Amino acid sequence: MTGTDVQFAICGSAGDGTIAAGDILKRTMAAMGYKVIAFDIYPAEIRGFGKCISRVRVSIEQAYSLKRRSDVFLSLNDAHAIPHVGEVRDFGAVVYDDAPIATIPEGAHISAHIRPAQLPYGASFRQISDKVTGNARARNLVALGYLAGLYGMPRDAFHKTIGRKFATKAASVTQVNVRAFDAGYDAGASVFKLDDVVMAPPPVGADGSRAQMMTGNGATVRGLLDADIDCFFGYPITPATSIMERLATDLPKRGGRMLQTEDEISAIAATIGAGYAGARAATATSGPGLALMTEMMGLGVIAEVPSVTIVSQRGGPSTGLPTKTEQSDLNLAVYGGSGDAQRIVLAPTNVEGCYRCAGIAFELAEKFQTPVIVLIDLYLSNRYETVIPPEVKPFAPKAIPDAAGRSSGPFKRFAFTDDGLSPRAIPGQNGGVHTITGLEHNELGRPADQADNHQRMSRKRHDKLLAATRHPGLTVAKRFGRTGKVDVGILGWGSTFGEILEAMYAAEREGISCSAMKVVMLSPLPVHLIEPFFDDCRIVLVPELNHEGQLAHLVSGTLGRPVVRLDRVTGAPMEVDTILAEIRRLALGPAAGNAA
């Protein structure tokens, strides 16, 4: 193979340093100028020795998802690694410790499970670590060094990353880990390489100095901070907790405030209260927490108060699968709540998109005076990608309401206007006295249950959001691949769109006429962009990680157009091969029974 697209997988038990080794690998590759996508799998157990897997895809050209099969597989714990040997491609490499510390039962060593087409590499990681450091704790660095030496990766680049990783510890810690890495590197460099994996250098001029490895949650935090968030209210819930944890550290440094509330209801109530007071306020949760927030979300809609809620989806319903990914909260995000409570819902498709959607959510919330939900998922929350942050903050400054001088009479906080956007005031502003209530109200905010008033207010709250689909600086939907008429169109949202793109490009290389569109704004739906896409496609496929086909129902119900659903709820990201197989089938002629 060309060596421009290599996926490494490291498998071990909690405590083996599996994730740490993967972290050093991906950060080193990013700093060298490669494109990197990585995803770590942790055990569900709070305590114990569950399985950890770190997958790192390193490429010269932009990649959009992890590959189904890895090129290089490193075992730090054979019991956990053996079930994953089949995930290594033919002529790929399996690297393992060939000097166990005790006699093991027949078939318990990974060498007995390596397939004929795979290339084995055994090395004494534990013994090497004992020799150079006095114990076996650094064997993960020895193993990482072995990979670097085997594939000719630059030693100095890893030294720099190791130094940064242990910069807060005593200098001796860095020195010990560098010695372990170098010992492994020398062992790997001395081996005659048999596999076809080649790590070609990054393009001339590639500069990774500004590239940062970010998770979706990390990028979300960066976006909130760059949008000058004032306060954050949250309650811990997997997989959104790290957003609150990072803001607890970073927000006070910028003069903001972070408060851990007693539950999710309090978190959204405080967020709406802060928004009413003129602050840029946000919270973060997952599906079960959003279910608790729906009543207060309705208050934000009827009271027309800006707020931002980050929702990282996991397997459901109820407690469901807390450590598995899913896209099954779309219905809850778009429709959840009593009455007609439309709000703006954004669903970024990659890590950089998490940054931009988190920041621009404040602009939308303030301009359209409504709650905004940013809908991600566990896969995107925890996935690492190389991101180059903008040098200048790309988000508009906070809109300061000013009710003064708008009218000589009583302030009409909910005045009917041509665009549905009423003048807004915050407590204490001169000339801005008004009533706020969860009851239906008139233009002054006073309770009013007349039929015609409720009809007009309902229309006002919905119609004002239509302009959000044309908000500057926000990609609400975008088409990729061929333009014009195609046989198969693939419509997708959220983290699954990376796999959709990989499948579409693979189908194009096979000569299939196809195109793909991502939908970032799920509410209100950008019909003006989706309808032309449907017009160009003989048939439209909608792959998503839920059982009901929630985007398929949303789009087909709104447009009145049929789609073909591809639904999976495995708890894992959708596989490129699964999507590609369905594209091939549809290209030959769709089965009418699959249309929704």
What confidence score (pLDDT) does residue 325 get?
Answer: 96
List C-alpha distances in Å: 38 to 22, 41, 581. Answer: 9, 10, 24
Could you give the CA distance from residue 17 to residue 535 in angstroms, rounded to a whole number? 52
When pLDDT is cut at 50, 70 and 90, the band that residue 104 belongs to is: confident
Helix (H) or strand (E) holding 502: helix 497-509
When pLDDT is cut at 50, 70 and 90, the band that residue 138 belongs to is: very high
Does pLDDT of 14 surpass 50? yes
In whole numbers, what is the pLDDT of the chain averaged over residues?
94
Could you give the CA distance from residue 169 to residue 171 in angstroms, rounded to a whole number? 6
Left (φ > 0), alpha (ψ -120 to 50) or beta: where does 120 sit? Answer: beta
What confidence score (pLDDT) does residue 209 get?
Answer: 78
CB 81 within 8 Å of CB 12: yes
Can you tell me which residue has the tokens 């005659």? 192
What confidence score (pLDDT) does residue 348 get?
Answer: 98
pLDDT tens digits, residue range 255-284? 999 999 999 999 999 999 999 999 999 999
Q: Domain boundaries in the chain?
A: 5-209, 213-387, 477-594
213-387 and 5-209 share a CATH fold = no
What confidence score (pLDDT) does residue 350 get?
Answer: 97
Does pLDDT of 30 surpass 50? yes
Could you give the CA distance from residue 382 to residue 517 in angstroms, rounded to a whole number? 24
Could you give the CA distance from residue 377 to residue 148 in angstroms, rounded to a whole number? 32
pLDDT tens digits, residue range 279-327? 999 999 999 999 999 999 999 999 999 999 999 999 999 999 999 999 9
Q: 101 or 231, which is more confident?
A: 231
505: tokens are 């490009």
* Residue of 245, 328, 227, 325 lying closest to 281 (CA atoms): 227
What confidence score (pLDDT) does residue 367 get?
Answer: 97
Question: How much is the average pLDDT of 164-182?
Answer: 96
DSSP assignment of 429-480 equals -TT------SS-B-TTS-B---HHHHHHHHHHHHHGGGGGGG-TT--SEEEE
CATH class of 477-594: alpha beta
When pLDDT is cut at 50, 70 and 90, the band that residue 50 belongs to is: confident
What confidence score (pLDDT) does residue 171 get?
Answer: 95
Query: Can you list the positions of beta strands (E) in 151-269?
Result: 212-215, 231-234, 257-260
CB 316 within 8 Å of CB 329: yes
Question: How much is the average pLDDT of 333-341?
Answer: 96
CB 491 within 8 Å of CB 536: no
pLDDT tens digits, residue range 352-397? 999 999 999 999 999 999 999 999 999 999 999 999 989 999 999 9
Angle between helices 171-189 and 139-150 (to 10 degrees): 40
CB 66 within 8 Å of CB 37: yes
What confidence score (pLDDT) does residue 402 get?
Answer: 74
List C-alpha distances in Å: 563 to 57, 401, 482, 487. Answer: 32, 44, 19, 13
366: tokens are 């303030």
Does pLDDT of 340 surpass 90? yes
> Looking at domain 5-209, which of 3.30.70.260, 3.20.20.70, 3.30.420.130, 3.40.920.10 is its CATH number?
3.40.920.10
What confidence score (pLDDT) does residue 595 get?
Answer: 52
In this structure, of 11-25, 95-109, 210-224, 256-270, the range with the lowest mean pLDDT score is 95-109
Could you give the CA distance from residue 356 to residue 363 in angstroms, rounded to a whole number? 11
Question: Residue 538 pairs with which residues in a beta bridge?
Answer: none
With b meaning 16 or more CB within 10 Å and e meaning fewer, what string describes 139-156? Answer: bbbbbbbbbbbbbebebe
pLDDT tens digits, residue range 441-463? 999 999 999 999 999 999 999 99
pLDDT tens digits, residue range 479-534? 999 999 999 999 999 999 999 999 999 999 999 999 999 999 999 999 999 999 99
In this structure, of 128-137, 188-197, 335-344, 429-438, the range with the lowest mean pLDDT score is 429-438
pTM over 0.75: yes
On the CB side of 150, CA atoms within 13 Å amount to: 26
Could you give the CA distance from residue 66 to residue 573 in angstroms, rounded to a whole number? 9
pLDDT tens digits, residue range 176-217? 999 999 999 999 999 999 999 999 988 877 777 788 999 999
For residue 338, count other CB atoms closer than 10 A to its CB: 9
560: tokens are 């009145």
> Looking at domain 213-387, which of 3.40.190.10, 3.40.50.970, 3.30.365.10, 3.30.420.40 is its CATH number?
3.40.50.970
Question: How much is the average pLDDT of 229-249?
Answer: 98
Q: What is the DSSP letter of 299?
A: H
Question: How much is the average pLDDT of 413-426?
Answer: 95
On the CB side of 98, CA atoms within 13 Å amount to: 7
What confidence score (pLDDT) does residue 1 get?
Answer: 44
Residue 347 has phi, psi (to 5 degrees) of -135, 95
DSSP assignment of 84-118 equals GGGGEEEEEEEEEES--SS---TT-SGGGT--TTS
Question: Residue 477 pairs with which residues in a beta bridge?
Answer: 519
What confidence score (pLDDT) does residue 593 get?
Answer: 40
